[in-house]
Amino acid sequence: MAQPAQSPEPPADHIIVLFGATGDLARRKLLPGLFHLARAGLMPRRYRIVGTAPAAEALTDQEFRAHAQQAVARFGRSRPEGPDWEAFADALSFGAADTGAADPLMTAVREAEATLGGKPRRLFHLAVPPVAFTSMIDLLGATGLAEDGKVIVEKPFGTDLASARALNAAIHAVFDESRVFRIDHFLGKEAVDNVLALRFANGLLEPLWNREHISHVQIDVPEQIDIQGRAGFFEGTGTFRDMVVTHLFQLLGFVAMEPPVALEADALRDEQVKVFHSMRALDPAHVVRGQYTGYRAEPGVDPESDTETFVALRVEIDNWRWAGVPFHLRTGKALAEGRHLVTLGLREPVLRMFPLDARAAADGRSNELVIDFDDPGSITAHFLVKEPGPSMRLADAAMVFNYGTSFAAQNFLEGYEHLLLEAMRGNQSLFTRSDGVERLWEVAAPLLDAPPAVEPYARGSWGPDSIDALVAPYRWHLPVRRRVHTSE
């Protein structure tokens, strides 16, 4: 995990080679993120960023700088101007590369290395569509560029067990696992590191973090946005592969893990992978696939499409800590709100000293711990207190820790920024390991083999109605309501 306070040293000098430099991810996240790191003083003392793309999309160095400037102006957190920008733009260059024709890239990398002098590290970021992954990896191997370098690989890491194995084999033919950084931007969110801090740095919560005290866990990532014209990508992928196998299962690994023997990459990833091994293979009867009404009319979508834009599922973890505690996962497009929440529902006290009225009983009264993974996030403990006054009325209360109001905003790193920095530092803690990825596809196999039919849901809702039965007798945490319980 990240340890900026203990590691004030900037990363070693680097050449960063950005495959897909003209693409959407580079424009929205990578170029603005790298510029933010530069402004925050977190880039190496000496670095160069070499953009690359197929020759058909080649840019000159000047054009690449202008492209980056527009990207930062549109999506960045600070304006691309002044001496910080000049220095950053100066570090950018471009070299096209196609299979069998990588000379412009080779030249650009050599020039960048000559400019820096010494022996800078090489970091390759493959921000390219899955079809291009293996040919780019092969290119890095064939040209010798890969030598001693690290590679950042973007999701999806395969679409099933066989394709994940094939992809890992292709990567390992060129890069050994210690140099592979499979990026999942959810794991770069501050709140993920904070789950570790919360659990393992405090005596307050860890004793409660098990089946004795927790009745159910909910990992909820509803999105308000729809597919935003990305039919080409979405039709072949669907929400389960896009969001669950990657982001939600990764979060689950951190929430459910045993204490690692040390806060270092393999110890953490060992524990995460153990959770994945304890996960029961998914039962399609415990999965609701949904599709928002109107999806089939989106441009580029098959009018009879069976692709899910929503999924909710119940996951069981067969280990000593979590046996019998259901994990409820939900995510989807075009939902009522956009949130990133993990909710731990605490068991009720053994004795009911405070009788509930009918409404409160229907609502349930378990205490909850809610971890909000938004950037910046928050942690809230919900509990019941007595309202002041002569009668024994109970009311909801909350203890709230808010990152945004508790710490200086300029110290925040967004998911991608955090992970780019960790990759430069060579710290793999927050990156997915090949055995973990393969295990998750194994867990997913029964669902992929026999997916239940998609059920329609209205835009702006919380998904198909059947999700309530999926989690009964528990309830989905959202929407948050203010409740007053009374014993009168």
Q: What sign for the dihedral angle of Cα 318, 319, 323, 329? A: negative
469: left (phi over 0), alpha (psi -120 to 50) or beta: alpha
Minimum distance of ligand BG6 from residue 244's CB (angstroms):
11
Q: Which is nearer to ligand BG6, 14 or 27 (CB)?
A: 27
ω into 376 cis (within 30 of 0)? yes
Minimum distance of ligand BG6 from residue 227's CB (angstroms):
8
Minimum distance of ligand BG6 from residue 300's CB (angstroms):
15
Q: Which is nearer to ligand BG6, 39 or 340 (CB)?
A: 340
Q: What residue number has its CB nearest to ligand BG6?
A: 242
ω into 473 cis (within 30 of 0)? yes
Q: Which is nearer to ligand BG6, 150 or 185 (CB)?
A: 185
- Beta bridge mates, 386: 394
In the structure encoding, which two tokens stand for residue 286, read together? Answer: 């415990």
Round to whole Å and give the CA distance between 248 and 219.
Answer: 7
Q: Which is nearer to ligand BG6, 56 or 131 (CB)?
A: 131
Any idea what DSSP says for residue 296? G
Q: Which is nearer to ligand BG6, 278 or 309 (CB)?
A: 309
Minimum distance of ligand BG6 from residue 340's CB (angstroms):
6
The H or E element that residue 470 is part of is helix 467-471
Amino acid at 280: R
Minimum distance of ligand BG6 from residue 152's CB (angstroms):
14
Chain residues binding ligand BG6 by CB under 6 A are 185, 223, 242, 340
Q: Which is nearer to ligand BG6, 223 or 438 (CB)?
A: 223
Positions marked active-site: 247
Round to whole Å and give the CA distance between 438 and 221.
Answer: 23
- Beta bridge mates, 221: 331
Q: Scan for tokens 């990833």, then name that residue.
A: 269
Minimum distance of ligand BG6 from residue 185's CB (angstroms):
6
In the structure encoding, which two tokens stand for residue 392, read together? Answer: 């024994």
- What is the phi/psi pair of residue 100, to 5°? 80, 0
Minimum distance of ligand BG6 from residue 215's CB (angstroms):
27
Q: Which is nearer to ligand BG6, 94 or 295 (CB)?
A: 295
Minimum distance of ligand BG6 from residue 353's CB (angstroms):
41
**Cβ-count burial of 314 within 10 angstroms (0-12 exposed, 13-18 middle, 19+ buried)?**
buried
Q: Which is nearer to ligand BG6, 299 or 390 (CB)?
A: 299
Q: Scan for tokens 């992929």, then name that residue.
A: 448
CB 265 within 8 A of CB 427: yes
Strands 92-94, 310-315: pairing kind: unpaired
In the structure encoding, which two tokens stand for residue 354, read together? Answer: 């405070």
Round to whole Å and give the CA distance between 169 and 171.
Answer: 5
Cross-sheet strand order for the sheet of 287-292: 455-457, 287-292, 310-315, 327-332, 214-222, 341-346, 368-372, 378-386, 393-402, 484-486
CB 44 within 8 A of CB 10: yes
